[in-house]
């Protein structure tokens, strides 16, 4: 019998083809804001889709039971859909939720946090707190632009990574940036594209401090004409230009008076200096609210011993010290430790102590043996699994956890719940509006007499 060579019928188990367009009705949202529907018995995630919409979507990844797609065309739009403020929103990897109302974004983020706490830890907070809100746009005070020399077309590309791709989106606007940085973004491409050393550029960081900062990373020397062009651009925008030709110790300022960047915490009458390469929060409004909420939830008493873990340049340490606490700040980066000490001195705070230690590996510092009354931690995305074990062993009475990843927060919450802590309160913080990124604050208190630490199994 001759083998059949015609076009085969798709079976129920056959995955969709990459690039194929499929029609989907969306019923709900995923934890990262994508629309979710069904197609031929499979779950479909649709980037750029909203619940209640009928869309055609292009397949990006396909497995036997799950298909990842992005919106190709909206056939029937939700009444909730909004027009993105940025012309690059459909492609740029920076923002994925500009089509979603701000209030809905917050609902999605709170639901994501609640689902992670339930899934990973099986716990519910004693109290859900209202979200900390900031501006929906014009809030971001730090950004990094990728720079790539296109040899084939002999031109420089300046922009952000495209969503689901390594290509660059050459941006001419970025409305989530504070206005002084968006103006720099608009002017940056043409200037960099004319530099003699443009093929050797790495990336550019823009930072809004008391004076805007433009940090240019380059892998080969820049000519004197290049330096003058960069100085002129910085002067035009009231900024300072810093260069980094190698490791972080090569960082230097080539314009202005070399003012050390700084930001202000007005509610605590504090000013904190930082280097262009240091971590600082990108949203000044939410950062101030976050500090105020941390002080309110921890309620530090004069003379209380508080550990500030992953302390950076003192963002939490100095406000806690201003409130009268005896603060020990721990940070893995020695340069940031030095700046935290200097920030304490500059603000006439003499009680805080700052030490360098790796908080992600073996913990054996004497600062642990000294004990504490409360602890605040603001770890990176991988969380603080080892550290929360140690804090529980020390029977620290109150632990305030600031998180940038609900999954690792939930994991660490489960560890603390198993060690006799209750999750007294938790709430999301709108640090990154228009994105699916979720920031949260959680307060754990030793003892389970109040609230619900762990759901009945």
The CA-atom distances, in angstroms, between 447 and each of 329, 401, 418, 440 are 26, 17, 11, 22
Grouping H, G, I as helix, E, B as strand and the rest as coil, residue 43 is strand
Nearest-angstrom CA–CA distance, 417 and 369: 23
**Cα–Cα distances in Å, from 148 out to 8, 98, 145, 163, 225?**
44, 26, 10, 17, 20
Is-contact 171 185, C-beta < 8 A? yes
For 396-407, letters b (16+ CB in 10 Å) and e give bebbbbbbbbbb
Annotated active-site residue 404? The verdict is yes
Measured between alpha carbons, how far is 217 from 231 in angstroms, rounded to an integer?
15
Catalytic residue among 86, 241, 253, 404: 404
Q: What is the largest CA-CA distance in the chain?
A: 92
Say what the alpha-carbon torsion angle 195, 198, 202, 203 is, to the nearest 10 degrees: 50
Distance CA(140)–CA(281), nearest Å, equals: 9
> Quick check: 407 and 83 in contact, CB under 8 A?
no
Give the residue numbers annotated as catalytic, written as ranges: 404
């Amino acid at each position: 019998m001759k083998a059949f060579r015609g076009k085969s019928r798709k079976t129920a188990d056959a995955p969709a083809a990459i690039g194929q367009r499929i029609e989907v009705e969306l019923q709900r949202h995923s934890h990262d804001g994508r629309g979710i529907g069904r197609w031929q018995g499979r779950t479909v995630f649709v980037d750029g889709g909203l619940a209640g919409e009928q869309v055609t979507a292009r397949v990006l990844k396909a497995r036997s039971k799950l298909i990842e797609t992005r919106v190709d065309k909206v056939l029937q739009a939700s009444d909730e859909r909004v027009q993105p403020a940025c012309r690059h929103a459909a492609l740029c990897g920076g923002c994925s939720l500009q089509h979603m109302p701000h209030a809905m974004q917050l609902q999605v983020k709170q639901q994501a946090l609640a689902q992670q706490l339930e899934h990973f830890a099986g716990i519910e907070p004693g109290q859900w707190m209202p979200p900390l809100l900031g501006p929906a746009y014009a809030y971001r005070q730090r950004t990094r632009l990728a720079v790539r020399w296109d040899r084939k077309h002999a031109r420089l590309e300046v922009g952000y990574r495209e969503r689901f791709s390594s290509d660059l989106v050459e941006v001419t606007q970025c409305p989530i940036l504070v206005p002084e940085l968006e103006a720099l973004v608009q002017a940056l491409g043409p200037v960099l594209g004319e530099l003699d050393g443009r093929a050797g550029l790495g990336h550019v960081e823009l930072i809004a401090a008391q004076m805007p900062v433009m940090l240019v990373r380059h892998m080969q020397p820049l000519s004197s004409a290049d330096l003058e062009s960069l100085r002129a651009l910085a002067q035009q925008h009231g900024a300072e230009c810093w260069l980094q030709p190698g490791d972080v110790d090569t960082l230097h300022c080539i314009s202005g008076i070399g003012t050390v960047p700084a930001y202000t915490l007005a509610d605590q009458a504090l000013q904190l200096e930082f280097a262009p390469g240091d971590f600082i929060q990108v949203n000044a409004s939410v950062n101030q609210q976050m500090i105020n909420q941390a002080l309110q939830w921890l309620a530090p008493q004069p003379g209380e011993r508080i550990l500030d873990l992953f302390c950076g340049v003192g963002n939490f340490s100095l406000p806690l010290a201003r409130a009268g606490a005896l603060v020990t700040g721990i940070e893995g980066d020695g340069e940031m430790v030095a700046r935290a000490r200097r920030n304490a001195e500059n603000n006439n705070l003499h009680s805080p102590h700052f030490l360098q230690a790796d908080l992600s590996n073996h913990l054996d510092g004497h600062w642990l043996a000294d004990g504490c009354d409360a602890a605040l931690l603001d770890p990176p995305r991988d969380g603080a699994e080892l550290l929360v074990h140690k804090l529980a062993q020390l029977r620290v009475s109150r632990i305030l956890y600031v998180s940038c990843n609900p999954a690792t927060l939930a994991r660490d919450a489960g560890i603390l719940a198993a060690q006799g802590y209750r999750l007294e309160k938790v709430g999301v913080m709108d640090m990154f509006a228009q994105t699916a990124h979720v920031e949260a604050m959680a307060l754990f208190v030793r003892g389970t007499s109040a609230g619900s630490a762990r759901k009945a199994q």
